[in-house]
Amino acid sequence: MKINNSRNAGFTLVEIMIVVAIIGLLAAIAIPNFVKARNTSQKNACINNLRQMDSATQQWALETGKSDGDTVSAAACNGYIKGLALPKCPAGGIVKYGAQVGTGLANTPQCDVTGHALP
C-alpha cells in the first residue's frame, strides 16, 4: 500500500487576490505623487528656460548698446541661447519674448501656462 503525501505546490486564489490588492493600493498612492512631481519639474524647467531667454535679451542689449525700452526680437537673441533656438515649454505652453529691453513684468519672457512665470 502506497501513501501519497505529496501536495501540489502553488498559490491559492485568496493569496493571489491579497497580492493584487496590495499592488493596487500602492499604485493608488504612488501615481498622484508621480503626476505632481512631473508637473513641478515641468514648471521649474519652463521657468529656467524663461530665465535663460531673459539673460540672452540682457546680454544682447548690453553687446549692441541698447537701453531700456528698445525693441527686441527673438531672432536677435537666438545667438545668445545654447542651441540657437527658442527654448520650449515642456508642458506644451507657448513661450514668447518680451517686447522691449527692460526689467518690467511686461518686458520679460512669458509662458501662457498658469504658474510658469519669472519670479
Backbone angles phi, psi at 84, to 5 degrees: 55, 30
Which pLDDT does position 34 carry in this prediction? 94
Give residues with Cβ within 8 angstroms of 91, minimum separation 6: 39, 42, 43, 46, 113, 116
pLDDT per residue over 53-84, tens digit each? 888 888 888 898 888 888 888 788 888 888 77
Asked whether 62 and 76 are in contact (CB, 8 A), the reply is no
Give residues with Cβ within 8 angstroms of 85, minimum separation 6: 78
Which pLDDT does position 14 carry in this prediction? 94
Half-sphere exposure of 22 (CA within 13 A, CB side): 6
Neighbours of 2 (CB within 10 A): 3
Burial class from Cβ neighbours inside 10 Å (0-12, 13-18, 19+) for residue 117 reads: middle
Which pLDDT does position 5 carry in this prediction? 66
d(CA 117, CA 119): 6
Q: Which three cell numbers stand for residue 102?
A: 527692460
